[in-house]
A and B are shown apart, each in its own frame.
Chain A
Amino acid sequence: MNAAILVQAAGEFTRTSGGEAATFWVLAPVAVLAALGMVLARSAVHGALLLVVNLFCLAVFYLLQDAPFLGFVQIIVYTGAIMVLFLFVLMLVGVDSADSLVETLRGQRMAAIVLGAGFAGLLVFPIGGVISGTKAAGLAAANNGGNIQAIARLLFTDYVFAFEIVSALLIIAAVGAMILAHRERAGGKITQKEMLRRRFAAGGPVTPVPGPGVYARPQAADVTPALPPASDDPGHPGDSGDSAGGDADSPHPVGAGKGAAR
């Protein structure tokens, strides 16, 4: 319901051409700067966040151009799902795996910038000159009865085979990602016995250590915890001297009581 109102508002805003121009000229520099920042940012996480800004600007451009369905899909799929996936992988790989700035091919950076400038000039000036006089036919007729309905009508009639093939592609991608991310365990599964043996072999406390503020060593229910003492041993407050029922005179030696069964 809210989305419908929002779409209608966006449409109203679009029809006044001045509003569209203002939105475009505000958001286009933001999109370009965010894209440049993504390329230039040293940290990959900053790059990912700047890409989110850029994709959001593109979503607004879709809304401006009578494509509300694509605009919302852009926000949900790209800035929602895909960028979260990117951030997950960034965190898995390690944020500190910074980009090395060593040039492995000599002169590659300069050549890339020159090629990019040439490519931009080629795209913008001749093609831009050819299309600069075009008038948009507008989507008012095609969107008659709703953009989403019109897209659905096309998708399930003219493009239904492409739709089916894409569904197969998505299933293959999901299975492929599972196969690629699956890792065979080297050396078999660690049993509980093995885990216990390792814990005892390492020395140190075998039971889980009580949380901060709990004045007891064992976590057994029948051991009364000590009061917070005026201790001379700040590290282990429960240990000190004649504490009432601490683990100094505990009937449970460490590792044999109920606490060790955890």
Chain B
Amino acid sequence: MNPANYLILSALLFTIGAVGVLLRRNAIVVFMCVELMLNAANLTLVTFSRINGTLDGQIIAFFVMVVAAAEVVIGLAVILTIFRTRRSASVDDVNLLKY
């Protein structure tokens, strides 16, 4: 099967994630959309690894997963901290620097 199909699929998933980041107001859903974008990039890396016949793409995808795990931990802790002070998980309520 042509590996380009995987690349097109991952482009679609990345776009859906990016549109979700722009559309949604709930910070946790925005965060899940970022995870979707990271995973789409991972699919691209794995596909390129297969096209090139080397394992470097898989190694980079593995590092992306590790960094994403660290990012999720910190990001969710930040969201919880904001929720404690504002009683809201909406990104629109964090606008103190706007004025």
Q: Would A173 and B70 count as touching, CB distance under 8 A?
A: yes
Chain A minimum-CB-distance residue to B2: A132
Asked if A230 is at the interface (CB within 8 A of a chain B CB), the reply is no
Measured between beta carbons, the chain A residues less than 8 angstroms from B69 are 77, 81-82, 170, 173
**In the complex, how many angstroms separate the beta carbon of A213 from the nearest chain B beta carbon?**
40
Measured between beta carbons, the chain B residues less than 8 angstroms from A90 are 28
In the complex, number of A-B residue pairs with CB atoms less than 8 Å apart: 227
Most A CB within 10 A of own CB, among B16, B35, B67, B83? B16
Asked if A5 is at the interface (CB within 8 A of a chain B CB), the reply is no
Asked if A10 is at the interface (CB within 8 A of a chain B CB), the reply is no
Measured between beta carbons, the chain B residues less than 8 angstroms from A142 are 53-55
Once the chains are docked, how many angstroms separate the CA of A209 from the CA of B16? 54
Once the chains are docked, how many angstroms separate the CA of A14 from the CA of B80? 43
Contact A162:B63 (CB < 8 A) given known A39-B33, A116-B19: yes
Q: Would B53 and A138 count as touching, CB distance under 8 A?
A: yes
> Which residue in A32, A44, A139 is a CB contact (below 8 Å) of B12?
A32
Contact A137:B52 (CB < 8 A) given known A151-B62, A169-B70: yes
Q: Which of A164-202 contact B (CB under 8 A)?
A: 166, 169-170, 172-174, 176-177, 180-181, 183
Which stretch (A63-71, A214-222, A248-256) binds chain B? A63-71
Classify chain B: how many residues form its interface, as a range: 35 or more
Measured between beta carbons, the chain A residues less than 8 angstroms from B22 are 108, 112, 115-116
Measured between beta carbons, the chain A residues less than 8 angstroms from B56 are 154
**In the complex, how many angstroms separate the beta carbon of A196 from the nearest chain B beta carbon?**
29
Asked if A236 is at the interface (CB within 8 A of a chain B CB), the reply is no
Once the chains are docked, how many angstroms separate the CA of A147 from the CA of B24? 39
Once the chains are docked, how many angstroms separate the CA of A28 from the CA of B61? 20
**In the complex, how many angstroms separate the beta carbon of A7 from the nearest chain B beta carbon?**
14
Q: Would A35 and B1 count as touching, CB distance under 8 A?
A: no
Q: Which of B1-28 contact A (CB under 8 A)?
A: 1-9, 11-20, 22-26, 28
Once the chains are docked, how many angstroms separate the CA of A6 from the CA of B50? 20
Once the chains are docked, how many angstroms separate the CA of A127 from the CA of B20? 23
> Which residue in B18, B29, B55 is a CB contact (below 8 Å) of A116?
B18
Q: Could you name 26 residue pairs across A and B whose Cβ atoms are closer than 8 Å?
A: A21-B1, A32-B9, A47-B32, A65-B50, A66-B50, A77-B69, A82-B68, A86-B28, A86-B72, A89-B28, A104-B25, A112-B22, A112-B23, A113-B23, A115-B19, A115-B22, A116-B15, A124-B12, A127-B11, A128-B4, A136-B50, A137-B51, A142-B54, A162-B63, A173-B70, A176-B77
